[in-house]
Structure 1
Amino acid sequence: MAFFGFKDIDKLSEVDMAIYRYIVDHDEQVPLMRVRDLSQGAHVSNSSVMRFIHKIGYSSFPEFKVSFKSENQDLMRSKSDVLNIIDRNAFPNDIEKTIKLVAHLMLDADNIVFFGMGGSGAIAEYASRQAASLGFNSYAVKDPFYPLIQQLHNTSNNVIVTLSVSGRTSEILETLNNFVNSPDTILVSITGNIESPIARIGRYALSYNIPETRIHKYYDLTSQVPCVYIVDGLLMELHNQDIDRKIE
């Protein structure tokens, strides 16, 4: 039996759900409560509480309290610090200045390309959509074999923002190498490795510091929260500079 893992929620009545929600919201107090305390807190009858206890698989209220206390303690141990993914120390001291410089480049760009693979590709799509919502000609490229060099042929004033946790993805590097000496395209990176090849070949590198996490060798579970922070900061700065320019 597991209260927090109870799977038949759809079988609970409205009264049952009121009890369930009350227990979840008062998880530390419930092991010290009597049936009467719980019924008063949830605004139901004592018999409704006992029917609920039996429905979720316990034979008595004391049995439920012992099991619930143990389960809740296990959850508290396992979920400690799960939201402490990032803080200001994850970014360089001059990150705000670099964001302003990159936003200034993007402000006058004819084409803004967000380039990434896997999870970074998903964030590239998000960034592109937000930039387009702000009125900029922006699109995302998630396929490293996409003919980007041909698409940007005979164009000028382009900015390619590459998203890569490792900054070492060979397929992405192969594409970017086509633009290293281009006078018409500026390369920018958002990466977790400031010393990586992708960071070094661009004009600006927006970086963050977070441990890489991989499972089964190939699957990257490294948090993308720092990258999203930078993307949102960059888009906000782009929007602010655009407003300031229109006011002048």
Structure 2
Amino acid sequence: MLLAIQEKLAQFSPAERQVAQYVLQHAEQVLAMNAQTLATKAGASPATVIRFSRTMGAKGFADFKIRLSAQQPTDKSLLTEITPTEDLATVKEKLSLRIRQTLAETNLSLHNTTIDKTVAVLQKSRSISVYGVGASLLAATDFVQKFSRLGVAPFLGRDADEVMAYNANQSHPGVLLLISNSGETPAVIKIAQAMPPSHTLILLTQAPKSTLGQLANLTLIYHPTAAPTKMRTAATTSLLAQLYVIDLVYYRYFQLHFQQNAKKIQQSYQNIQRTRDH
């Protein structure tokens, strides 16, 4: 909860930010307060305390305290970025905390209906192309590897022109899956703008209000977690979040036609084994 508050500081209103900063500095004392007391201490109103609690996913301040107490005591040093002097055990704790937070926040951001709509579009498509830049290319490669085992055979583009050329000549309906952390990558926007009208654009991003978010038909939202300095843990957790969402889509796709897909997985495994034997 403390890490989530720290992540959302820039999104709060000025009054909510006062409450958030007080909670970060006095988490244990807050557990014994009511909304009026916290409001007075933070220089805000009780209504602001309630709004802050709901922004953090709680039903109200009482529910917020229950969630906060479940995670006490928390070593506040774990909320900071890694330093050159820390031992490996501390680094492991910091990264595992961010990974847990990333998965929890992604589950809140990612609606079940969006996953099911994505799966339905993929099942009806006659062509699928996937594209990402940098770390997002790793996620795109993972998507292709997984769905290829089911006989879907998505096309993995290595540059923007290649993807646009592929989409221009594919059967309809088609699917274009774009992966972009910021939703503002110029090459990815170029592909989205050139997509045939008969294709469905699925976007995997943490920025649903971005340029790509406005162009997408379906948006799969994830939530990477990092300390305020936004050093390398942001890139680490964004990739983990992307891979997690792809896994969810893959398993849901597999689940809805379980027997058929299980047979394909078994056949692909047997083919690989025969190749290795030879």
TM bucket (normalised to shorter chain) is: 0.5 to 0.7
Flag structure 2 segments of 5+ consecutive residues without an equivalent.
1-85, 262-278
1:130/1:235 contact within 8 Å kept: yes
Cα distance in structure 1, aligned partners of 2:167 and 2:205: 25
Indicate how the Cα distance of structure 1 residues 229 and 173 shifts in structure 2: closer, same or farther if over 3 A, else same.
same
Cα distance per residue 1:115-144 (max 9 Å; x no partner): 111111121111111111112131211312
**Paired residue for 1:82?**
95
Equivalent residues in 2 for 1:193-208, closer than 5 Å: 193-208=207-222
How far apart, in 2, do the equivalents of 1:125 and 1:223 lie? 15
Q: Which residue of 2 aligns with 1:5?
A: none
Residue of structure 1 equivalent to 2:193:
177
- The CA deviation at 1:227 is 0.7
- Flag the 1:194–1:244 CA change in 2: closer, same or farther, 3 A: farther
**Which whole-Å deviations, capped at 9, do the CAs of 1:43-82 have from their partners, x for residues lacking one?**
xxxxxxxxxxxxxxxxxxxxxxxxxxxxxx8443443232
TM-score of the two chains, using structure 1 as the length reference: 0.60
Q: Does 1:231 align with 2:255?
A: no
The structure that has the greater radius of gyration is 1
Hey, what does 2:161 align to over in structure 1?
145
The offset of 1:145, in angstroms, is 2.9
Q: Are 2:141 and 1:128 equivalent residues in the alignment?
A: no
1:102 is aligned to: 118
Are the structure 2 counterparts of residues 127 and 104 from structure 1 closer, same or farther at C-alpha, using a change threshold of 3 Å?
same
CA-atom RMSD in angstroms: 2.8
Question: Does the C-alpha gap of structure 1 residues 186 and 74 become closer, same or farther in structure 2, counting only changes over 3 Å?
Answer: closer
In structure 2, do the counterparts of structure 1 residues 120 and 75 end up closer, same or farther at CA, with 3 Å as the change threshold? closer
Aligned length: 170
Identical aligned residues as a percent = 17
Determine helix, strand or coil for the equivalent of 2:128.
strand
Looking at structure 2, the residues matched to 93 and 80 of structure 1 have their Cα atoms a distance apart, in angstroms, of 24
Alignment CA distance shift 1:244-1:194 (3 Å): farther
Output the TM-score relative to the length of structure 2.
Answer: 0.54
The one-letter amino acid paired with 2:172 is: S
Q: Decide which structure has greater helix share.
A: 2
Residues 148 and 206 (structure 1), Cα distance of their counterparts in 2 relative to 1, 3 Å cut: same
SS of residue paired to 1:189:
strand
Alignment of 1:1-248 (within 5 A): 74-84=87-97, 85=99, 86-93=102-109, 95-153=111-169, 155-179=171-195, 182-211=196-225, 213=230, 223-243=238-258
